[in-house]
Amino acid sequence: MAAPYGLEVSRSCEECALKKQGFFCNLPQPALKTLDAIRLTNRYPEGAILFVEQEAPRGVFVLCKGRIKLSMTSSEGKTVILRILQPGEVLGLHAVVSGRPYQATATTLEPCQVNFVRREDFLRFLSQQSAAMLHVAEQLSNSYEDACEQVRSLGLAHSVSEKLARFLLQSSAGGEQTTQGIRVRMTMTHEEIGQAIGSARETVTRTFAEFKKNHVIAVHGSVICIPDRTTLATLANT
Amino acid sequence: MAAPYGLEVSRSCEECALKKQGFFCNLPQPALKTLDAIRLTNRYPEGAILFVEQEAPRGVFVLCKGRIKLSMTSSEGKTVILRILQPGEVLGLHAVVSGRPYQATATTLEPCQVNFVRREDFLRFLSQQSAAMLHVAEQLSNSYEDACEQVRSLGLAHSVSEKLARFLLQSSAGGEQTTQGIRVRMTMTHEEIGQAIGSARETVTRTFAEFKKNHVIAVHGSVICIPDRTTLATLANT
DNA sequence: GACGACATGTGATCGTCGTCACCCCTGCCT
DNA sequence: AGGCAGGGGTGACGACGATCACATGTCGTC
């Protein structure tokens, strides 16, 4: 399945092209060519840090393979997970555009393949390929919406159940429909879920237990079944 | 001081031009001309709603005069204030670019003068004036950073004192330096501050009292004096 | 199979803050 | 002046969830 991919810079990221939303992949041909010439492909082990909060923008990253965690950390070590990025998604765009520091820290959750374009190269590319600018704006809009969703979750919910229900609804967006409801593979630990919804690990465990007891969800190993989305939506107050 | 401004669409928003950051004002001349031709100027009374959360994007708004509140509301009526916009700032840009609904509700806090450009007109304008696209991207980056700041405040702080300190630090950014420290006019009510930092009105009142007792701030009517920013920063854990 | 590392499950405790209830003050309207 | 509304101040109370502490489970490695 996973063909060996060389490190040489070659045709535009086949991995990405497979995904439905290979953001920079649906550009006009000449733009793609230019982009290919200035991008570097890197591979990172699990736990690698692409950039950290407050760092000056070095460039943009496009995730080709693997998953990356985008998080913010307070001085006392408390962490908020902004989102988990899937292949095809872009990182660091806003910092490169605005010239201001990265807002979050990007950490690989598994071995990753990542394309990188240096800031100067990327800005030059943008000034030449004006069509690409629209993609950038769309990307930034996506990021903004994600952040808004996070604010909604953290700011408007008044219980952990509500936030967890919201979180499960979001996570189940990509799940497959079966006769027992929607099935999703939950790759995050309770600890990480807690950081995503702003609560302690133990509380996540307890709330999960409560959901199971009330048959809102069913858990089989790392797979979660949601028999009825609407009950979850009720809990989420969406 | 405030010259009478007609409703006719004329030279590019003098009000905005006065402000340091009249976003769409520092565009090349031809772009400005085009923009002038497609924009409409409206005036709204206090409490008017420009758009609501979930509404399909009608267009972009540029605030010329007055202040506008950007907020999100839950089904039970709980509200989060994302930010208060000052003259020169843009609203609804991300929705217009992405074509997805507005993420927040925009309400005037006082009588406002607002420029409006219909979505179709704006998109056509952008496709013709590629230089403007960069401004759009910068704007979106700003919005994203604001949202991140909100997430940081709501997600990383573990006490109301911390969030209030953060909030005061942000608010005091535009304050004037005096011998007694920084002076800022606080135009928001305790209720609104509570909505901005995600806490109850009474708690805001109490935390303010605590800050006053510890001489972290001094309040004279609607003016707040911050003798020492660093103590506030310590409380904020920044 | 034994061990260690990490994830999950569960009880007990305690503080923060949301909620309710009420009072006071100021400004505004008539 | 009287009345009213909205903002601010304050006490009492209770719930939710953070925190600590420890038990159990699961997986990969030697």
CA-nearest residue of chain B to A128?
B130
Q: Is A107 on the interface with B (CB under 8 A)?
A: no
| C-beta atoms of B147 and A148 within 8 A | yes
* Structure token pair of residue B116: 């409006």
Q: Is the pLDDT of residue A198 over 60?
A: yes
- For A112-146, write each residue's pLDDT tens digit: 999 999 999 999 999 888 888 989 999 999 999 99
Distance from C-alpha of B89 to C-alpha of B17, rounded to nearest angstrom = 12
Closest CA to the C1' of C15: that residue is B159
CA-nearest residue of chain A to B78?
A156
Instruction: Give the Å distances, CA to CA, from A18 to A22, B144, B214.
Output: 8, 29, 60
- For A82-91, write each residue's pLDDT tens digit: 999 999 999 9
Residue from the list B76, B94, B126 with its beta carbon closest to the beta carbon of A144? B94
* Structure token pair of residue B106: 């925009």
Q: How many CB atoms lie within 10 A of CB B18?
A: 12
Using the CA of B206, which nucleotide's C1' is the nearest one? D9
CA-nearest residue of chain B to A102?
B145
Q: In chain B, which residues have their Cβ closer than 8 Å to the Cβ of A196?
A: none
| C-beta atoms of A138 and B238 within 8 A | no
How does pLDDT run along chain B (238 residues), one tens digit per residue?
333 333 333 344 554 544 444 566 677 777 778 888 899 999 999 999 999 999 999 999 999 999 999 999 999 889 999 999 999 999 999 999 999 999 999 999 999 999 999 999 999 999 888 888 989 999 999 999 999 999 999 999 999 999 999 999 999 988 888 888 899 999 999 999 999 999 999 999 999 999 999 999 999 989 999 999 999 999 998 7
Q: CB of A146 within 8 A of CB of A82?
A: yes
Residue B130 pLDDT? 81
* Chain B interface mutation, best of A80, A151, A154, A162, highest count of B Cβ atoms under 10 Å: A151
Residue where the block lists tokens 């040489």? A8
Distance from C-alpha of A70 to C-alpha of A80, rounded to nearest angstrom = 9
* Chain B interface mutation, best of A156, A161, A163, highest count of B Cβ atoms under 10 Å: A156
| C-beta atoms of B143 and A144 within 8 A | yes
SS3 (DSSP) at B151: helix
Distance from C-alpha of B66 to C-alpha of B2, rounded to nearest angstrom = 12
Listing DSSP states for A16-65 in one string gives: HHHSTT-GGGSS-HHHHHHHHHHEEEEEE-TT-EEE-TTPPP-EEEEEEE
Distance from C-alpha of B103 to C-alpha of B100, rounded to nearest angstrom = 9
Q: Is A124 on the interface with B (CB under 8 A)?
A: no
Which secondary-structure segment (H or E) carries A114? strand A112-118
For chain A, what is the mean pLDDT?
Answer: 88
CA-nearest residue of chain A to B198?
A155
Using the CA of B203, which nucleotide's C1' is the nearest one? C17
Amino acid at B82: L
Rounded mean pLDDT, A197-216: 97
Measured between alpha carbons, how far apart are the two ends of chain B, in Å? 39
Measured between alpha carbons, how far apart are the two ends of chain A, in Å? 39
CA of B214 to C1' of C18 (A): 24
CA-nearest residue of chain B to A199?
B155
The number of C-beta contacts closer than 8 angstroms across A and B is 129
| C-beta atoms of A155 and B80 within 8 A | yes
Residue A23 pLDDT? 62
| C-beta atoms of B154 and A154 within 8 A | yes
Q: How far is B109 from chain A (nearest CA, A)?
A: 21
Q: Hey, which residues does B41 pair with through a beta bridge? A: B115
Q: Is A150 on the interface with B (CB under 8 A)?
A: yes
Angle between helices B130-156 and B119-128 (to 10 degrees): 120
Q: Is the pLDDT of residue A6 over 70?
A: no
Q: Is A144 on the interface with B (CB under 8 A)?
A: yes
Higher pLDDT, A78 or B19: A78
Q: Is A8 on the interface with B (CB under 8 A)?
A: no
Residue A25 pLDDT? 65
Q: How many CA atoms lie within 13 A of B40 on its CB side?
A: 11
Q: CB of B160 within 8 A of CB of B207?
A: yes
Residue A237 pLDDT? 84
* Chain A interface mutation, best of B81, B123, B151, B199, highest count of A Cβ atoms under 10 Å: B151
Determine the Cα angle at B213 with ends B207 and B214, to 5°.
95
Distance from C-alpha of A152 to C-alpha of A176, rounded to nearest angstrom = 26
Q: Is B141 on the interface with A (CB under 8 A)?
A: yes
Using the CA of B78, which nucleotide's C1' is the nearest one? C18
Q: CB of A38 within 8 A of CB of A125?
A: yes
